Amino acid sequence: MGAKDLVLIEGLEIRTVIGIYDWEREIRQTVRLDLEMAWDISRAAVSDDIEDALDYKSVSKRLISFVEASSFGLIERLAEQCAQIIIEEFGVPWVRLKMSKPGAVRGTENVAVLIERGEIG
């Protein structure tokens, strides 16, 4: 990868079953994803063709489908699984993923994990 370009998806909100407490297992809560994905955009910048780009709509739809159908206890596990999907299915060499669980702790605006996976070439 020549350039160190990033494709971002910010504030992707998805409702899912997430949590370790019994009451959490019976409801759907919102998690929010913020993604930075390494991707050389130079070909797409020249061709103006989606085939040369990282299709952020496809990435978003795949993550929505996965997260909505999932039922993890910890956001750490869910974040890891999402990062693996991005790397393995979309060929992204590096991803920084922030997974938030707003309102999970009384008195806070947000709790989150921030992970980086892969290598920037």
- Give the residues across from 97 on adjacent strands: 35, 115
What are 60's two structure tokens?
Answer: 């978003």
| Active site residue ranges | 101
* Positive/negative CA dihedral, 48, 50, 54, 59: positive
Residue whose C-alpha is closest to residue 92's, from 57, 49, 40:
40
Strand order in the sheet with 94-100: 71-72, 6-18, 29-38, 94-100, 112-118
Max Cα–Cα distance, the chain, nearest Å: 52
